[in-house]
Amino acid sequence: MTNIRPLTLELAEKAKNELNEVPSRIESDLTIFKEWIKKQPHLNARMDDQFLLAFLRGCKFSIERAKEKLDNFYTVRSCIPEFFHNRNPNNLELQEVMKLGVNLPLVTPLENDLSKIIFVRMGRHLPEKYQLTDVMKVCYMITDILLVECDNTIISGHHVVVDAQDIKFSILSQVSSSLVKKMTSTIENYPIRTRGMHFINLSTTFEAVFKLFYGFLSEKIKQRVFVYNSFEELHQRIPKKYLPDIYDGDAGSLEDLELYWRKKMIDYQQFFSEDSKYGTNEKKRVGIPKTASSLFGVDGTFRSLEVD
Query: In this structure, are 221 and 98 located in the same domain?
Result: yes
Q: How far apart are the first and last CA of the chain?
A: 55
Nearest to 195 by CA among 14, 9, 13: 14
**Range scoring the smallest mean pLDDT among 74-83, 148-157, 241-250:** 241-250
**Pick the residue with more confidence: 143 or 242?**
143
Tally of domains within the chain:
2
Q: What is the pLDDT of residues 290-302, one digit of tens each?
A: 988 888 875 543 3
Bridge partners of 196, per DSSP, are 159
Question: Does residue 305 register a pLDDT over 60?
Answer: no
The answer to whether residue 231 is domain-embedded is yes
Query: In this structure, are 102 and 228 located in the same domain?
Result: yes
The answer to whether residue 298 is domain-embedded is no
pTM of model > 0.85: yes
Query: In this structure, are 235 and 180 located in the same domain?
Result: yes
Mean pLDDT of 165-171: 82
Q: What is the reported pLDDT for 299?
A: 53
Query: In this structure, are 71 and 146 located in the same domain?
Result: no
Question: Does residue 166 register a pLDDT over 90?
Answer: no
Q: What is the reported pLDDT for 170?
A: 81
Q: In CATH, what number is assigned to the domain containing residue 219? A: 3.40.525.10
Query: In this structure, are 68 and 217 located in the same domain?
Result: no
Query: In this structure, are 120 and 226 located in the same domain?
Result: yes
Confidence of residue 209 (pLDDT cuts 50, 70, 90): confident
Query: In this structure, are 193 and 219 located in the same domain?
Result: yes
The answer to whether residue 136 is domain-embedded is yes
The answer to whether residue 175 is domain-embedded is yes
Task: Annotate 251-305 with DSSP letters as a single string.
Answer: S--SHHHHHHHHHHHHHTHHHHHHHTT-EE-GGG-SSS---HHHHH-----GGG-
Query: In this structure, are 164 and 52 located in the same domain?
Result: no
One-letter amino acid at 17 equals: N
The answer to whether residue 11 is domain-embedded is no
User: Is residue 178 within 8 Å of 298, Cβ to Cβ?
Assistant: yes
Query: In this structure, are 142 and 253 located in the same domain?
Result: yes
Mean pLDDT of 264-279: 96
One-letter amino acid at 117 equals: I
Residue 237: which H helix or E strand, with range?
helix 231-237
The answer to whether residue 295 is domain-embedded is no
Query: In this structure, are 114 and 241 located in the same domain?
Result: yes
Question: Does residue 106 register a pLDDT over 80?
Answer: yes
**Range scoring the smallest mean pLDDT among 52-61, 89-98, 196-205:** 196-205
Query: In this structure, are 179 and 132 located in the same domain?
Result: yes
The answer to whether residue 308 is domain-embedded is no
Bridge partners of 202, per DSSP, are none
Query: In this structure, are 114 and 130 located in the same domain?
Result: yes
Q: What distance in Å separates the CA atoms of residue 200 and residue 163, rounded to the nearest whole number?
A: 5
Q: What distance in Å separates the CA atoms of residue 238 and residue 199, rounded to the nearest whole number?
A: 12
* Structural domain of 217: 92-268
- Written in H, E and C, the secondary structure of 26-51 is HHHHHHHHHHHHHCCCCEECCCCHHH
- Pairing state between β 103-105 and 43-44: unpaired
Q: What is the rounded average pLDDT for all residues in the chain? A: 90
Q: What is the pLDDT of residues 114-149, one digit of tens each?
A: 999 999 998 888 888 999 999 999 999 999 999 999
The answer to whether residue 75 is domain-embedded is yes
Q: In CATH, what number is assigned to the domain containing residue 37? A: 1.10.8
